[in-house]
Each structure stands twice: as C-alpha cells, then as structure tokens.
Chains A and B, each alone.
Chain A
Amino acid sequence: MNQLQLLGAVEIGLIYSLVAIGVYITFKVIDFPDLTVDGSFTLGAAVSSTMIFAGHDPYFATLVAIAAGCVAGAVTGYLNVRWGILGLLAGILSMTALYSVNLRIMGRPNIAIIDSSTVFGDWNIIIVILAVTIIAILLLTRFFASEFGLAIRAVGINPKVSSAYGIKVGAMKIVALSISNGIIALAGSLFAQSQGFADISMGTGTIIVGLASVIIGEALVHPERIWVALLTCAAGSILYRIAIAFALNAHDIGLEASDLNLITALLVALTMIATKFKKKNEVRTI
C-alpha cells in the first residue's frame, strides 16, 4: 500500500466516521437499532447536490441537507414513540420511503456537480473533513455532558428509571434520532460534494459500514468516556477503510477482484479476534 492509497482510505474513512458517530448515538447511546441511515445518507447527498446544481450556495445547501436528515430521523422516532411501531421496522419504513423521496428531490437517479463549487473550495478535502469531525466530536461531547444530553443518555441506560425521574423518554429518543440522522446526512452531503456527484444508490450498505466502524473502534479501546467513544468511532471507520485498501492490493497474490468483500470481512474479523487475544487475561468490564 503506497501513501496515496493510505490517504485515500483516510479521506473516505473520515467522511464515514461521521456516519459511525451517528450510528453510535442511536445504537449505543439510546439503544435504538436505527436503519434510517441508508436513506438519510443518500438524502444528504440528494438535497445538497440538487441545490448546488440549481446554483445555491454550497454552505446553505449543506445546512439544508443536515436539516432534512434531522427530519428523517424525527419521522422514524415519531413512528416508534407515538405509534409504538418496533424501532427496527420504523427505521426500515423511513429508509424505504426515503428511496422514493430522494428520487423526487433529485428528479433523476444521478446528478453530477463536478464542475460546481462546493464547501471544499480549493482546500484539502482531508483537512476540511478532519476539522468537521473534530468540531462534531467537541460539540457532541459538550452536548452529552449537559443536563439535556445526560437525560438522553439516561434513557438509553434505563428508560423506566429515567421516566420515574421525570425525563420524557419518547421526546429524548426523537431528539437523539434527529441528531444522529442529521450528522449522517451531513456525511452524505460531504461525500457527494467531495466526489462531484450524487447517486440514488449511494447509501446502500451505509448502516453496515457505520456499525462495523463502531464495533471495531469499541473492540480496540473499550471506551468509558463519551469523547473517547466518539473518537474510537472515527478510528474504527478509518481502520475499516484501511482493511479495504489492503483487500484491494490482494490481486498481487492472485485473488479475484470479486473477492473484495470477502477479504474485507476477513480482515475485520481478524482485527476483532486479535483484540480478544490481547484482552484474554484482563477482567472484562461492561
């Protein structure tokens, strides 16, 4: 693997670290298996690309994309909280509906914006995304230390006790889902802008990548503080991309191009197994 390949992996990994952070908020903080992700990632790409294509300011377009993601997350939360639809199904419903919504927004399945100006301007993509990720982690760390943020975390740990302490469990869930999907839409928006196009199939498999990143990061560090946990999400995401970068070099040992996903999965599994060996003699704390 040469330096450019490593930088490429880091760039994509950083964009997907925002996805991992969003997934962490739902899966870990409020313990909600949210599958809206595949839809909201594409939503962010669709909204910002359509607006940029129409000549709007890229910063404004990115903000609108984040807002759209928040709405998508809130819809999932509303279906779950107000109508008691199972969280898994509520997410699937939103994701399915978003496919059509995204097509409506874009008007066609693929929009090219490679000649338009984006939030990246002439800056280095990695530096911009690194800055965005750090700012997101700082803001979220502060947020989850506030009374409101602590209430959200309490809901994830023990909804019954939280409710007894006067925390509105349903509202907290909706807010957390909103924030999560807003961040994921931001990732989608940045991905589309950095690559110069949006495509309706852009979000396919996003949830898997996000979840894998969260779990890889957690296996490596066992974080207890929230800022460490968010940081390990980012690390997990970059590691996942580095695994793919290794898998892409596998043609040198005679593996087929179509083996890519298998090799990636093997490398990730090996990472997980390696952490078990390291921790064999330690006392597990959960």
Chain B
Amino acid sequence: MKGFLFSCVMLTLGLASSAIGAKKSVITINQFVSHVSLDASRDGLRQALLERKITPEKADIILSNAQGNISNSVQISKHHASLKPQFMVSIATPSAQTNLKAKGEDSTLAFLAVTDPKSANLSDQKNVIGVTDYPPIEKLVDIAISIIPNLQKMGVIYNSGEVNSIKIIGDLEAILKTHNIELKRVSINSSNDIKNAMNQLIGAVDVIYLPQDNSVVSAIDNVVSISLKAGVPIIANDPTLVDRGVLVAIGANYFDSGKQLGNMIADLIEGKFLAQNIQNSATEELKINQKSAKSFGLTIPKDLMNGVKK
C-alpha cells in the first residue's frame, strides 16, 4: 500500500511538472500495437530525430501504445491533441485515423506503416504527411519467376480482417494475371489457423506469398518449418523475414521508413519544404536466404545476386 501511495504522489507530481514545462515543442507518437515491424519503424523515427538534433531539450517526444485496442487509440489521440503538439505521429492505419479525427488545425499528422492512405482517407487532407509502405509486388513476382522454374500457381495466406493485406492481394492478383499465374487464396482469422492454411496450400501451389499481415507474420517460424518440410518456398515483401527462413524478400525496411519520416519532420521543423507530403518508402532491400534456396534445390541467377544487400 505504501508503495502505491508513493506512486500516486509521484503521479500527481509528474502531472504538475508537465504543466509547468510546457513551452517546448511537442511530438507525440501513437503506436497502435507492438510488433517487430512497427517497433522498428518507431525506433528508426526516433533515431532520425536524434541525428537531426531534435533532442529532448528541444522537443518533448511522447510515446503511447494503444495495445491493439481502437477505443484506447481514440483516447490516446485526444490526449495527444490536448498537448497541442507540432507533430502527431501515428504508426499503423487505425492510429492514423483516430489521430486525423482528433488533431487540431495547428498540428501536422505524420503517419507510418500505412499501405493504402487513399482508402483510409489520409491523402488529400490538409497538414498530413507520411511514409507509406506499399510493397514492390511487381518486382517480387519477377524475381519469383526468375528463381522458380515453371511457376504456375502461387498461394497466399492472409487475414481477411487486415486492410493492408486485402489491398496488396488484390493488386497481386492483377499482376499475376498478366503472367498467366494462378493465385490460390487462403484466409485465416488468427495465427492459430496457420497450420490448416499451410496444409491447404502444400501440394496445390509452387510457391507461397506472405503479405505484411500481422497474423501471418506472428506465426512466421511455424510457416517456415512447414514450408521447408514440404519443399514449397516462401516469398515475402519484408526483408527481415528472410533471416527467419523465407526464401526471398524485397521491400521496405521498416527502420528506414521510420527514419525517412523522421527526416521529413526535421525538414519541416527547419522550415524546409517537402517535395511530396506523402511518400512511398525510399529504400528497397533485396534479401535471399541461401540455405533455404539450397534445401529447395534452387539456383539463384547471378545478376540477381548482385542486388542482394550483404
């Protein structure tokens, strides 16, 4: 009980002190949920701000995490807006939408980890900047065709409840059509369904594509071990997944996307103009897992290897 009373006193003191030191500029970060990619983008953002000398003495950086709950996210957005921040950063689509509703006229909304800003109503808004993570699907398809001989059927596992996955898979299907490759979709509701989904695809497809889907990525080790056993390679748009056994991935590095947004914010603070308010992630990284390639008996073309980041 004493300990709790102590922390209550500290809380009150903390509230009082925050009211006194108000004159600095404020940057708030509303992160929807914690997972590898989102955490990486947040860390990239903070590093870029530090590198551009936006230190804690110059600006208060306030981080909140909605823990995957939208009503929390709404309350966080209102909380952040009440601090009259110069920039309201949001990581992931739901946070961007709650921030958009809550933000005042003087604050600039800066979003990360949003694939489709248009359908989330984030494009064409005043005072909104951001870095989208739309993946280079077309390049990935070309690479898959060059590595996997006689590619005719591609499988995909995704959560039908994730807006980013839906958008990407729609576009993927259109691209595959031009190559006469058939797409077999399997949707899951949570990470627990992954084994069933894999079993549906094994034997029916030549390769499996994983979108940047939170439910699928959470079960990545499971997916990879089944794929290695069954001899069906996995491709993806998240290079960090290659270290976990995915055959090949090309796409944005979330840490770099975060840095990109951090630099955009720093530019605006320094009074510079942005070439584009909403930019796609500038860095593209290609990664290939040689061990997986060997176990599938695949040879990687030489010219492709030159593009691989060491």
Contacts and interface: CB of A to CB of B under 8 A. Distances in A.
A12 B70 CA distance: 11
B63 interface: yes
Contact of B70 (A1, A8, A202): A202
A112 B121 contact: yes
Nearest to B14: A252
B31 interface: yes
Contact of A196 (B18, B67, B121): B121
Nearest to A200: B161
Interface in A51-84: none
B75 A257 contact: no
Nearest to B119: A112
A245 to B, nearest CB: 7
Nearest to A114: B121
Nearest to A11: B78
A245 B79 contact: yes
B161 A244 contact: no
B72 A244 contact: yes
Contacts of A117: none
Contacts of B94: 110, 197, 199, 201
Main secondary structure of the interface of B (DSSP, over half): helix
B160 A191 contact: no
Nearest to A206: B71
Nearest to A269: B4
A109 B97 contact: no
Given A4-B81, A8-B82, A260-B67, A197 B11 contact: no
A24 interface: no
A253 B14 contact: yes
A204 B70 contact: yes
Contacts of A202: 70
B120 A112 contact: yes
B97 A9 contact: no
Contacts of B10: 253
Interface in A238-261: 241, 244-246, 248-253, 257-258, 260-261
Contacts of B34: 258
Interface of B: 4, 7, 10-11, 13-15, 17-19, 31, 34, 62-72, 74-76, 78-79, 81-82, 93-94, 97-98, 100-102, 119-121, 160-163, 166, 189
Given A199-B93, A260-B66, 19 more contacts: A4-B78, A5-B82, A8-B75, A8-B82, A12-B78, A16-B71, A99-B189, A114-B121, A194-B101, A195-B97, A196-B121, A197-B94, A200-B161, A205-B69, A241-B75, A251-B63, A252-B11, A252-B14, A257-B31
30 contacts: A2-B82, A4-B81, A8-B75, A8-B82, A12-B71, A110-B94, A112-B97, A112-B121, A114-B121, A195-B74, A195-B97, A196-B121, A199-B93, A199-B97, A200-B161, A201-B161, A202-B70, A204-B68, A205-B69, A205-B71, A244-B75, A245-B75, A249-B11, A252-B14, A252-B18, A253-B7, A253-B10, A253-B13, A260-B66, A266-B4
